[in-house]
Structure 1
Amino acid sequence: MSLAVILDLLIGDPKSLPHPVQLMGVVISFLRRLAESIANENKSKLYIGGLILTLIVLSLSGLSGWLLERLFLFYKVKNPILSTLCFAFILSSSLASRSLNKSILEILNLLRNKNPENNLSNLRQKLSLIVGRDVENLDTNEILRASAETASENSVDGIFAPLFWMFIGTIFWEFNLSTPGPLAMAWIFKASSTIDSMLGYKDGKLKWLGFTGAKLDDLMVWIPSRIVLITLPFCCKPKHSILKTIRYSWKDGIADSSPNSGISEAIFAYCAEVRMGGLNYYKGVKNIKPIIAKSYPIASINSVKKILNLSIRLEIAWLLCFSIIIKYINL
Structure 2
Amino acid sequence: MRPDDITAGLVLGYAADLLLGDPRRGHPVAAFGRAAELLERHTYAPRRSRGVVHEAVLVGGVVVLGHGLNRLPPAGKVVAVAVTTWVVLGGRSLSREAQAMQTLLHEGDLDGARVRIRNLVGRDPSALDADELARACVESVAENGSDAVVAPLVWGAVAGLPGMLGYRAVNTLDAMVGHRSPRYREFGWAAARFDDVLNWLPASVTVAATALATGSRRGARHTFAVVRRDAPAHPSPNAGRVEAAFAAALGRQLGGRNDYDGVAEDRGRLGDGPAVTAEDIDHARALQHRIGLISLLGVVSARLLLRAVVPRMRPRR
Q: State the TM-score, normalizing by the size of structure 1.
A: 0.85
> In structure 1, which of residues 96, 100, 108 is the aligned counterpart of residue 102 of structure 2?
108
Partner of 1:144: 134
Partner of 1:20: 28
> In structure 2, which of residues 153, 159, 170 is the aligned counterpart of residue 192 of structure 1?
170
Give distance in 2, aligned partners of 1:262 and 1:136. Answer: 24
Q: Deviations over 1:190-239 (max 9, x none)?
A: 11111111111223231110101110000000111112222311111469
Matched ranges for 1:29-48 at <5 A: 29-36=37-44, 39=45, 46-48=47-49
* Aligned partner letter, 1:146: A
Deviation at 1:289, TM superposition (A): 1.8
* Aligned partner letter, 2:34: V
Partner of 2:283: 306
Q: Secondary structure at the match of 2:179?
A: coil
Q: Is this contact kept in 1: 2:43–2:53, CA < 8 A?
A: no
Matched, 1:325 2:315: no
Q: Deviations over 1:29-82 (max 9, x none)?
A: 12322123xx4xxx5xx2111011111011111112222333xx33x4xxx4x8
The 3 A distance-change label for structure 1 pair 135 and 239 is farther
> In structure 1, which of residues 260, 265, 270 is the aligned counterpart of residue 248 of structure 2?
270
Q: Is this contact kept in 2: 1:58–1:188, CA < 8 A?
A: yes
* Aligned partner letter, 1:223: L
* Aligned partner letter, 1:51: V
Aligned length: 299
Q: Secondary structure at the match of 1:324?
A: helix
* Aligned partner letter, 1:110: L
* Aligned partner letter, 1:209: F
Alpha carbon RMSD of aligned pairs, Å? 1.9
Q: Is this contact kept in 2: 1:253–1:292, CA < 8 A?
A: yes
Where structure 2 has 5 or more consecutive residues not aligned to the other structure, the ranges are 1-9, 309-317
The 3 A distance-change label for structure 1 pair 246 and 7 is same
Give distance in 1, aligned partners of 2:29 and 2:97. Answer: 18
Q: Percent identity?
A: 26
Partner of 2:55: 54
Q: Secondary structure at the match of 2:152?
A: helix
> In structure 2, which of residues 85, 90, 106 is the aligned counterpart of residue 91 of structure 1?
85
Deviation at 1:316, TM superposition (A): 1.4
> In structure 1, which of residues 153, 167, 177 is the aligned counterpart of residue 157 of structure 2?
167
Deviation at 1:251, TM superposition (A): 1.5
Deviation at 1:91, TM superposition (A): 2.4
Give distance in 2, aligned partners of 1:89 and 1:58. Answer: 19
Q: Secondary structure at the match of 2:186?
A: helix
Partner of 2:315: none
> In structure 1, which of residues 280, 288, 299 is the aligned counterpart of residue 258 of structure 2?
280
Q: State the TM-score, normalizing by the size of structure 2.
A: 0.88
Deviation at 1:150, TM superposition (A): 0.7
Give distance in 1, aligned partners of 2:43 and 2:173. Answer: 14
Runs of 4+ in 1 over 3 A off after TM superposition: 82-87, 237-241
Q: Secondary structure at the match of 2:128?
A: coil
Moved more, 186-195 or 238-247: 238-247
* Aligned partner letter, 1:328: L
> In structure 2, which of residues 205, 212, 218 is the aligned counterpart of residue 227 of structure 1?
205
